[in-house]
Amino acid sequence: MLAEQGGSKIIDALHELNVQDVVSIPKVGPFDFSITNAVIYMWVSAAVVFAFFYIAARRMRKEPDGLQTIAEILLNFATGHLTGQIGEKGKKYYYLILTIFSYIFVTNLIGLIPKPEVLKPYTPTANINVTFSMAIVVFLVVQFQGFRRHGVGGYLKSWLTPPGVPKAMARPLNGIFFPVHLMGEFFKPLSLSVRLFANTIAGHMIILVMLGLLLQYANAIIAPTALFVIIMTGFEIFIAFIQAYIFSLLSVVYIESAIYAGH
- pLDDT digits over 4-29, tens only? 444 455 555 556 667 788 888 887 77
* Per-state percent for the chain, helix, strand, coil, to nearest 5: 80, 5, 15
55: containing domain: 2-259
DSSP 8-state assignment for residue 62: S
pLDDT tens digits, one per residue of 101-122:
999 999 988 887 877 777 888 8
CB 14 within 8 A of CB 211: no
Question: Which pLDDT does position 218 carry in this prediction?
Answer: 56
pLDDT tens digits, one per residue of 234-251:
777 888 888 888 898 888
For the cut 70, the answer to whether the pLDDT of residue 36 exceeds it is yes
Nearest by Cα to 141 from 180, 75, 181, 188? 188
- Count of the separate structural domains present in the chain: 1
The rounded distance, in Å, linking the Cα atoms of 116 and 57 is 33
